[in-house]
Chain A
Amino acid sequence: EIVLTQSPGTLSLSPGERATLSCRASQSLSSSSLVWYQQKPAQAPRLLIFGASIRATGIPDRFSGSGSGTDFTLTISRLEPEDFAVYFCQYYGSTGTFGQGTRVAIK
């Protein structure tokens, strides 16, 4: 069973700062099946990144994904006020699995 561990649990930053979020897998993954979501309070999650590094339609270029194997990263180059939210990774191999999420909070 694949386990995805996200860190940190909470990231406290100011608007304009860079956010770096980690998603680490218990075994090597196929990058083509790693996605990232953003979720705001009382809203459904929104797909940001698929294929570990490809922005979904309409996602601003300040969001980028990278990584391979067991280590994946979501980077927000300069935080906008609307970016303060929870972010979580998901992998679909033989079954699905989610990371527990990282909250990006206003410092």
Chain B
Amino acid sequence: QVHLQESGPGLVRPSQTLSLTCSVSGGSINSGGYYWTWMRRHPGKGLEWIGHIYYSTNVPGRTNYTPSLKGRLTISLDTSKNQFSLRLDSVTAADTAVYICARDRGRLVDGYYYGLDVWGQGTTVTVSS
């Protein structure tokens, strides 16, 4: 059974860079065919989809980001460590949230989107001086 675990600093200073890692166990990113996804939940709000990175042998790292974070956001993979990461530059208080990683099955050949099937527990990040 695949398990995801987020890690990273709980406190980041304004204007600095937030770096989070999601470690994958019980399965291998190298098996391919999934979208490795980051989301966040602001206090008292719903989930916000941040972005994902797709891995397959033919497509080793195609990314897609939410427009509101483009230019500040980078999602990357490290298949040797079986983990994927989020880097968010120039953070502000508005980036304070619980950050959650997940595995997305994506849209399959039958045309249906099958959604997120494995979720991490989330990690709280506070941006404050």
Residue ranges of A at the interface with B (Cβ–Cβ < 8 Å): 1, 32-35, 37, 44-45, 47, 50-51, 54, 88, 90, 92, 94-101
Contact = CB atoms under 8 A, between A and B. Distances in A.
Contacts of A45: 116, 119
B66 A95 contact: yes
**Quick one: which of B39, B104, B111, B116 has the most chain A CB within 10 A?**
B116
| B interface bracket (residues with beta carbon within 8 Å of A) | 20 to 34
Contact of B111 (A32, A37, A47): A32
A33 B112 CA distance: 6
A98 B46 contact: yes
Contacts of A99: 46
Contact of B46 (A51, A54, A88): A88
A40 B94 CA distance: 27
Contacts of A50: 112-115
A92 B107 contact: yes
B17 interface: no
Contact of B48 (A94, A98, A101): A98
A96 B25 CA distance: 25
B83 interface: no
